Chains A and B, each alone.
Chain A
Amino acid sequence: GNSVTQMEGPVTLSEEAFLTINCTYTATGYPSLFWYVQYPGEGLQLLLKATKADDKGSNKGFEATYRKETTSFHLEKGSVQVSDSAVYFCAFNNAGNMLTFGGGTRLMVKP
Chain B
Amino acid sequence: DTGVSQNPRHKITKRGQNVTFRCDPISEHNRLYWYRQTLGQGPEFLTYFQNEAQLEKSRLLSDRFSAERPKGSFSTLEIQRTEQGDSAMYLCASTGRGSVYEQYFGPGTRLTVT
Q: Which residues of A contact B (CB under 8 A)?
A: 4, 32, 34, 36, 42-46, 49, 51, 89, 91, 93, 96-104
Contact = CB atoms under 8 A, between A and B. Distances in A.
Given A97-B56, A99-B45, A104 B105 contact: no
Given A98-B48, A102-B42, 14 more contacts: A42-B107, A43-B105, A44-B93, A44-B105, A45-B105, A49-B101, A89-B42, A96-B100, A97-B55, A98-B45, A99-B35, A99-B43, A99-B93, A103-B42
Nearest to A103: B42
B33 interface: yes
9 contacts: A43-B91, A43-B105, A43-B108, A97-B56, A98-B56, A98-B58, A99-B103, A100-B45, A101-B44
Interface in B34-66: 35, 40-45, 48, 55-56, 58
Nearest to A93: B101
A61 B40 CA distance: 26
A80 B45 CA distance: 31
Contacts of A91: 42
Contacts of A51: 101
Given A43-B108, A97-B48, A104 B101 contact: no
B105 to A, nearest CB: 4
A63 B104 CA distance: 20
B34 to A, nearest CB: 10
Interface string B91-109: 1010000001111111110
